[in-house]
Amino acid sequence: MPYAPNSLAARDVAYTMHPYTNLAAHEQRGPHVISRGEGIYIWDDEGNRYIEGLAGLWCVSLGFNEQRLIDAATRQLGILPYSHTFAHRSTEPVIELCEHLIRIAPEPMAHAFLLNSGSEAIDTAIKFAWYYNNALGRREKKKIISRKRGYHGVTVAGGSLTAIPLMQNDFDLPVSDRFLTTDTPHHYRGARPGESEEDFATRLADSLEQLILAEGPETVAAFVAEPVMGAGGVIPPPRTYFEKVQAVLRRHDVLMVADEVICGFGRTANMWGSQTYGIVPDMVTCAKQLSSAYLPISAVMISQPIYEAFRDLSAKHGAFGMGYTYGGHPVCAAVALETLRIYEERDILGHVRAVAPRFQQRLHALGDHPLVGEARGVGLVGAIEIVEDKATRASFAPERKAANQVFERTVANGLITRALPGDAVATCPPLIIDETQVDDLFDRLERGLDEAAKSLRG
Ligand SMILES: Cc1ncc(COP(=O)(O)O)c(C=O)c1O
């Protein structure tokens, strides 16, 4: 055992269940215990400092010691630590948060419903799509389409849309044949030889339309997509993709649900990924950077026509039969509101736009590295795809765990990254990162790559 009996690590192995962890390996190696954070950095319990190059799980936008968020939580805890939003109740932070959110939301979002996590937001968006079509008397129009490698959480319905084998296999997902998948919009892997991004996008939109026609448009309710695929490998869409996809959706009266859980609040150098890619959504899910992850909170936003359909149907039932004990928790709402105020007052978007070109330049320069097949990204998010052979794009055998080896070497070099499906290694630092820190991040990533190259090729 690498850890001492009765150490924190031993206690963790004895009692803690970890997501996304090889449980058997974990029993041998124990956890990496993180003790504190400051700015873009975190420290482990042995005093080692790391750049948190994934902002936690793509979420700690304002870094790890933002006093204003701590004060907002403390203040609200002192005033009113809990109240709910059921049955005509509300609180000041909830009202102000929803007002602010809708003011900055992608057009044409009109109302916000608050919850606790990205998965809950996705589950709720699915229920909303069903309720909406029932309100319109379209009882058959219930199927939901996601993309292979899309990530939309792990709850029973959200996990049914998360079309990543690891997240579905042996969990009996998808839970029903209401959940369908279409192609991954990954040009590097999916395009035919010589096919342009535009032609690839046309082919994928056609393929989506064929799926909808084969199922019957009267049975398809919604298409759920991340503007940039995140946990599936950081995959920005090919040029013209969303324009063509949305034309198909409009033709068949299928709702566009933009899952902005990662992209929302400046990640792609616009407030929303929807703005970066010309998406006009019917519903938007967001979480993570909504509160800089200091407290759990998420939201589903909907357009006015959807809201009106809900109003009519819920009148028939006597109430809108939907809500969570902690949805609109006043302390979480107060922290989220303060986060949005900070974004505005400090012009975080302007900062991202100033730093992103350097980030993307350093990221794309890694495309020349012998281990890197593709470097891709937008704004302050990116990934490199590890390949055995750059010319043929052949991947390493899965048992080599190539991306994981790169991840391990970046950690050894003081940088947290994340290994993702398709041998991608991702980085998505706090939005407050400055240019010098961007250079430091990529210097460390480069050293990690060089070291992994030695062991992978040696
Ligand atoms: C795009 C997207 N949707 C949904 C989720 C699920 O969010 P949560 O883990 O808060 O349930 C995630 C989590 O990473 C995500 O990236």
pLDDT in tens, 35-88: 999 999 999 999 999 999 999 999 999 999 999 999 999 999 999 999 999 999
Which residues, in sequence order, are CB contacts of 145 under 8 Å at separation 6+?
A: 180, 181, 182, 208, 211, 212, 220, 222, 223, 224, 254
Is pTM beyond 0.85? Reply is yes
The domain defined by 32-65+348-457 carries CATH number 3.40.190.10: no
Name which of 57, 44, 10, 51 is nearest 289 in CA terms: 57
Q: Which atom of ligand 1 is nearest to the CA of 296?
A: 10
C-beta 261 within 6 A of ligand 1: yes
User: Probe ligand 1: pick from 119, 166, 260, 324, max atoms within 8 Å of CB?
Assistant: 119
Identify the residue with better confidence: 350 or 8.
350
Q: Is 421 helix (H, G, I), strand (E, B) or coil?
A: coil
Q: What is the mean pLDDT of residues 133-150?
A: 98
Per-residue model confidence as pLDDT tens digits over 162-203:
999 999 999 999 999 999 999 999 999 999 999 999 999 999
Structure tokens at 254: 């299928």
Please state, in angstroms and rounded to a whole number, the distance separating the CA atoms of residues 250 and 253. 5
- Token pair 């040029």 in the structure block, residue: 239
User: Probe ligand 1: pick from 152, 154, 229, 265, max atoms within 8 Å of CB?
Assistant: 152
Q: What Rg, from alpha-carbon coordinates, does the chain have? A: 22
Residue spans of the domains in the chain: they are 32-65+348-457, 68-345
Would you tell me the crossing angle of helices 435-457 and 402-412 to the nearest 10 degrees?
A: 130
Q: What is the mean pLDDT of residues 24-43?
A: 94
Q: What is the mean pLDDT of residues 371-395?
A: 97
- Token pair 């026509």 in the structure block, residue: 305
Structure tokens at 67: 């006093």
DSSP designation for 235: B
CATH number of the domain at 68-345, please?
3.40.640.10
Residue 424 Cα, ligand 1 centroid: separation in angstroms?
A: 18
For 215-232, the DSSP string reads H-GGGEEEEEE-SSB-TT
